[in-house]
Structure 1
């Protein structure tokens, strides 16, 4: 059941009320970031009610102990987790001796807004204390012009009576995580200094028994007030510094505070240069909020110029697509090939902030469409740079080649559930598919010919070792796996996994035959012959009577029944049923067979797509955030438009309306790409099979129009869909495309009637 937390605005999340019972959700929804760092929508002044404090730095993590009562060979030694960095936004506020805390402070006229045009989060309310009223306005953002910079402004307006106000700005390293290492601390003090009205705190992650990389994070902050207030600078302890100012406001007067903070890390700067570097960045930064806000707005508008999707006729849909795009760009914009996209981004601790196969399956096609190719290439390089670790993962399983991790920060598998670590090996195929996707979409084969070929060969060696030959059926099989549907474990011959493995071997063999002679990769003729034999004799379960691909060998032996047969009180299953009951049920967490049909849509007929969709979608509970978008895209393709729209709304407003009752611990960042995919690949029918760009749009019944831009092979196109379909060549040379199966040379603008 969906819920609403914010008013509907095309460019903002806004509310005129504060609900303490849903604060965890609104903290998640008002998260901000700039790709380098991010934070939840926590209150600067502090809040003693339910809250998940969260400030995170990209690439900074810690190995959480894997505490289980049993062990197996090859089991990961730790579960990597994102950790809370120094809390630099804290500004404690006291008015006439009363510590401001919305859990205990009387207030009125609350307002909160996340402006998605420029990434600025604002909040305001009036504190009511006996015969005084003080209006407090908070504004903050993380700069996308200067990635190390965080900017805060707090304004005070004395509405009634006179008040004495104290503000205490802090750098606080005494922080923990709620779900990692059981409330243990991670940070050791390195340096803390107070000079020239600035606080500097440097912390290093503590040593750990696994010998993983230690990180140093340093923060430099200064404070400016528009009223006279002598600073009281204090080192509370080695992990906590404060700058306290006290001033008085008469009725009708106001004051403003500007807090600028610079964060640098050992990932980019040697420890010995942290303070010098931070000082230089701060010195080069504007020292007034108006200029900093103007820079931020201009930088965000540049991003929106080509990435925005405009929807007319449905403000809720408009808000949701922009919210998803905003949070995606706040998480990752491709500047650093050492970084990737965690399922929760900077919005919470769940999933550990690590990298999953979501990136290759969902994020790659999104970034290909909205950004320069180098952004996606950096995602591919991320995996290439971790190829040695992927080979280590395979060796841990006693297998050849490379096994990319399900969960990782450094390329080493760090997921502590056996059915994931050992069995969900389909993620290996997604790595290969991303290389194909990049090459096919951009037309650039330089990555495939070099780094990509190395990755493909090692993945293929893994698959060739992981299959086994059934003498009885004279076919190759893959037993003991978990497919994308994680509501089944340890199954034999998951159709999607087998199909993907065969495709990887086919694609790699062709790539090697094309580029192998000019590369350093060496594949023997014996290996190539083995790959070909597997390709020709891979077992793919199917049922001729139903005309479907069977999810795995025994799936049809289950008590097959639709989700509609369940009482609503049972949903979501993962919050109401035991794991054993879920595993025995026919209900599907997310697209599995349909994931393969989505990936390889040019290899299946319309009838095959429809039969499989009609069979599997009614069994699917969509309790993975990744599920609705795939179903929406296929539903659009087979003409099931109502279902396509239903699934769009579910993926687009998954967090905004808290569909799965789990937004409190963070947003579903990687699945947000699905919102873009459902419009561009689903509603607009964009496909790029075999290097050919095509469209087949339809218009949702409650929309009057929608439009978007895409980048494709050095061109920028604008697509506008209303009663007329308009495709404009905005930048670049003539491009052959297909529109409703008609071949067209796009030289400027074409218009056709909507079909």
Structure 2
């Protein structure tokens, strides 16, 4: 059974009723972020029950030493960890001297959480009967400012209901934080100083090894029934903790409210010696706006995001809630404002997958950011990889590759490989192809070729050199083979001739060679600069092409399909439909040995190739491969349902496409894979966007034009979305009666609709 406690709503994620066993899951689902930092939805007040405390600062990481039983040559020395950052949300609450703790209360009633996605805030309300029989009502509202992205704010109100009470509020900062997933139980933060100035406090700490310095700050004000109190707080501090204590008598049914403004300034953006000054400037700004003023800037900023990024679905609230949740979390995780950053699979919602960047960015996220922001954001993500090219060459060198061959990391913070599982670090080399494909996809969509001569060609050459060296000539097949790999299906390790990997290798070499010729003909100065740098000879280029033109692809004449890998038909081919449901998910029920011998596919593998290179195969070929592989697919990767939804829509299997869409859009909300307590699946959320735009909308780029083949699920009355295509904002409105297109601006745009040219009409906005 999937969880079903999230109440369907078009614009909000809502939970009603306090259930301790779902606290950790809700901490993930109600997470907030602003691109520069993020937090799990931990309680502000003390909680003695099971919880997963988590606050995170973008780009701040720790190289936790890899923990393995035995070492292998080329093994990454560390596993990067997105650090659990100092905690600034904490507010201890006492009522008549008794600590408020929902885990020990006699009763918790009218409990409600809401994540308002339209306006970008998170709230929690409840009534609690405490062990001393005092009954209090608590209302808390919290957000991280998109505009002032080093700050957030909390409004925390307590109302005694059954008598006058002495209320104690203790807002605090704590830098003595540990990661749940530390390999060696090390602390990652070194406290440096704690200082105070009136109602402001500052706690500065530095990461061990990486030496990031963060000043965590707060400023507090208190009012009763709207009247601000001039209170001088009592303070307490240690080397890693500072608190301010406010004690006030509050009449029954009166409300005391604490306004807490807090956040981080770091050495990534400020001079270390001036961090406290920088924190004071941030506090001057946000306290000057006040809570309501800062909240209004938040609402305005999110309105601007939604104006471009929203997808509306008419007639299906769960589907609507799902897509908006995905779009909201993507925009909380990465805004494109800082090209040093990237998109981690858990974003700011948990510690699993410690590294910042996977191939998910190139394969799934770039299309979303290209279409809902502008090409500069996607270009920044590509520039991120170019800036790490030297490290990718160094990574390949550690594995024995030479001559400038590059292997981009599976997981990275700074370009170094830092994943701690050998079968992924050494073998999941298809990630190289995803980066080359992202360059192709960017040029195809934006029409901006300038990235290739400026940066991209060097990346493509280094990747082609890797594939050339990684292939082996087989006298048995009289072809080049690629041995010992893990494809996208991580339920097969150390296999030979994964079709997807071989196909990508061939394509990457051809694409690199094609662009070398293009730049030689049209960008002479760039060509000379690049060739001087990479020292590529005609002889080497000929050798590349020899490998690509003679690549081996395993094929079954019996089934008339490409084989996922050489030994796939040796398995006992029992479909998922005939797998005992009590054995699901197999990654939590079976041994790894049993999984590797099974035919079960974690996510699209061969079908991932058919998704990337759709125009190189017929619809009949897609149908054959879909019908062969999908029945063996357990969809236990977050990246799986979206690709299958798109392909089911292409095949006009709308019920199946819809089912996959619901699974991808509500993967976390309904906790399909029983793991949401660890954090959300941020990067796959971009795949959810693709399942609507590319799946149901049928959007492609053909001959430099947008092409649409819209289809609509039976459950929907209609849907709309916008895309920014080459600086034209196109709105698509699909109903059961037909599809209409409009363009924001003064120029019509020619598109393809079901293969025929059509005109999207310009609509000038009036002010």
Would you call these one fold, judging by a TM-score over 0.5? yes
Gaps of 5+ in 2: none
Q: Distance in 1 between matches of 2:729 and 2:48?
A: 49
Which residue in 1 is equivalent to 2:429?
A: 425
Deviation at 1:353, TM superposition (A): 4.4
Retained in 2: the 8 A contact 1:716–1:732?
no
Matches within 5 A, 1:208-287: 213-227=210-224, 228=229, 230-285=231-286, 286-287=288-289
State the Cα distance separating 1:417 from its structure 2 match. Answer: 0.9
Tell me by how many angstroms 1:714 deviates: 1.3
Cα distance in 2 for residues equivalent to 1:743 and 1:315: 34
Rounded to whole Å, the distance in 2 between the matches of 1:132 and 1:421 is 56
Distance 1:303 1:102 in 2: 36
Spell out the pairing of 1:68-79 with structure 2 (5 A cutoff): 68-79=68-79
Deviation at 1:158, TM superposition (A): 3.2
Partner SS state of residue 420, structure 2: coil
1:480-521 CA distances to partner (integer Å, 9 max, x unpaired)? 100000000001110000000110111110111111433221
Deviation at 1:543, TM superposition (A): 1.7
* Residue range with higher mean Cα deviation, 733-742 or 135-144: 733-742
How far the C-alpha of 1:132 sits from its partner, in A, is: 4.0
| Structure 1: distance between partners of 2:167 and 2:260 | 17
Give the Cα separation in 1 of the matches to 2:638 and 2:442.
24
Q: Which runs of 5+ in 1 are unaligned?
A: 208-212, 750-755
Q: Does 1:662 align with 2:663?
A: no
Give the corresponding residue for 1:347. 349
1:636 paired to 2:649: yes
Q: Which residue of 1 is the match for residue 361 of structure 2?
A: 359
Question: Any conservation in 1 of the 2:638–2:667 contact (CA below 8 Å)?
Answer: yes
Query: Partner of 2:353: helix, strand, or coil?
Result: helix
Give the deviation of 1:732 after TM superposition: 5.7
- Contact kept, 8 Å, 2:193 with 2:240, in 1: the verdict is no
Partner Cα separation in structure 2 for residue 386 and residue 185 of structure 1: 28
Give the alignment of 1:63-102 within 5 angstroms. 63-102=63-102
1:480: which partner in 2? 484
Alpha-carbon distance in 1 for matches of 2:746, 2:247: 59
The aligned residue for residue 408 of structure 1 is: 412
**Equivalent residues of 1:132, 1:162 under 8 A apart:** no
Q: Match of 2:747?
A: 733
| Matches of 1:118 and 1:497, distance apart in 2 | 43
Q: CA deviation at 1:229?
A: 6.4
Residue of structure 1 in register with 2:328 after alignment? 326
Alpha-carbon separation, structure 2, partners of 1:518 and 1:320: 49
Q: What corresponds to 2:614 in structure 1?
A: 601
**How far apart are the structure 1 equivalents of 2:251 and 2:198?**
29
- TM-score, with length taken from structure 1: 0.97
Q: Which residue, 163, 166, 171 being the options, matches 2:165?
A: 163
Q: Distance in 2 between matches of 1:567 and 1:235?
A: 58
- Matched residues in 1 for 2:477 and 2:640: separation? 33
Once the two structures are TM-superposed, the CA of residue 309 in structure 1 deviates from its matched residue by 0.4
Q: Which residue of 1 aligns with 2:525?
A: 518
Once the two structures are overlaid, the 10-residue window that deviates more, 523-532 or 621-630, is 523-532
Residue 61 (str. 1) matches residue 28 (str. 2): no
Q: What value does the CA root-mean-square deviation take over the aligned residues?
A: 1.3
Q: Is the 8 A contact 2:88 2:263 kept in 1?
A: no
CA contact 2:407–2:466 (8 Å) conserved in 1: yes
CA contact (8 A) 1:229 1:246 kept: no
2:109 matches 1:108: yes
1:450 aligns with 2:454: yes
Instruction: Report the Cα offset of residue 547 of structure 1.
Output: 1.6
Bigger CA drift: 233-242 or 334-343?
233-242
Distance 2:291 2:602 in 1: 47
Contact 1:258 1:288 in 2 (8 A): no
1:555 aligns with 2:568: yes
In 1, distance between residues paired with 2:498 and 2:15? 46
Size of the aligned set, in residue pairs, is 744
Alignment CA distance shift 1:550-1:87 (3 Å): same
Taking the aligned partners of 1:184 and 1:46, their CA distance within structure 2 comes to: 24
Aligned to 1:743: 757
1:541 and 1:549 in contact (8 A); partners too? yes
Moved more, 103-112 or 502-511: 103-112
Kindly indicate whether residue 624 of structure 2 is the aligned counterpart of residue 617 of structure 1. Answer: no
Partner of 1:210: none
CA distance in 1, matches of 2:647, 2:327: 22
| Alpha-carbon separation, structure 2, partners of 1:558 and 1:270 | 59
Asked if the contact 2:556/2:562 (under 8 Å) is kept, the reply is yes
Are the counterparts in 2 of residues 197 and 233 from structure 1 also a CA contact under 8 Å? no
Confirm or deny: 8 A CA contact 1:714 1:732 kept in the other structure: no
Distance 1:637 1:717 in 2: 22
TM-score, scaled to structure 2 = 0.95
Separation (CA, whole Å) in 2 of partners of 1:63 and 1:252: 51
